[in-house]
Structure 1
Amino acid sequence: MTIDQSPVNQFAVCLDNQDYEASLEVGKIYRVVNDEQAKASGLIRIIDESGEDYAFSSNRFHPIAVPKAVEKVLLTQS
């Protein structure tokens, strides 16, 4: 099975929400916002539970590729 993912839309699963329990849920898939400056600082910018994008330590997340059908559902929930 091949995963056809849009290069524009990226996603990551949360691995650690310590100290950010209100903003992040472990195991939840979040949309990643491209931010080269954050990336250079070891951060990842995601859209959190508030619906806003914030930078978190990248070691809290693992990037994932999702099939187009899953991407479509995730984007409708953002």
Structure 2
Amino acid sequence: MKDHEDTAPRFAICLNNTNYPASLERHNVYQVIFDKEVEQDGDIRVIDESGEDYLYPAEYFAVIALPPAVERAILQVS
């Protein structure tokens, strides 16, 4: 069985989009895809503006907790 950490939606707000202005918008909320290996390397996997998941420096984001209703709304749009 997978850990809850693997399946629960996580979200992060972009604090820095240096080198990625077309893919990331500062202050936007992005869905995080759990990827233990890349997180150990200091990266984070997010679904960016293209609608695909890519790796970015974790320091560019702050992982945030959202109320369940907000999570549902974001996931319905994605």
Q: What TM-score do you get using the length of structure 2 for normalisation? A: 0.89
| RMSD, aligned α-carbons | 1.2
In structure 2, what is the equivalent of residue 31 of structure 1?
31
Which aligned segments of 4 or more residues in structure 1 are displaced greater than 2 angstroms? Answer: none
Aligned pairs for 1:1-78 (under 5 A) are 8-78=8-78
Measure the CA separation in 1 of the matches of 2:44 and 2:19: 16
Higher relative contact order (CA 8 A, sep 6+): 1
Post-superposition Cα deviations, 1:14-70, rounded to whole Å, max 9, x if no partner, equal: 000011000000000000000011101000000000000001000000000000110
Give the AA of the match of 1:33: I
Structure 1 unmatched runs, 5+: 1-5
Aligned positions, number: 73
Q: Looking at secondary structure, tell me which structure has more helix per residue.
A: 2
Q: What TM-score do you get using the length of structure 1 for normalisation? A: 0.89
Give the AA of the match of 2:44: I
Give the AA of the match of 2:26: V
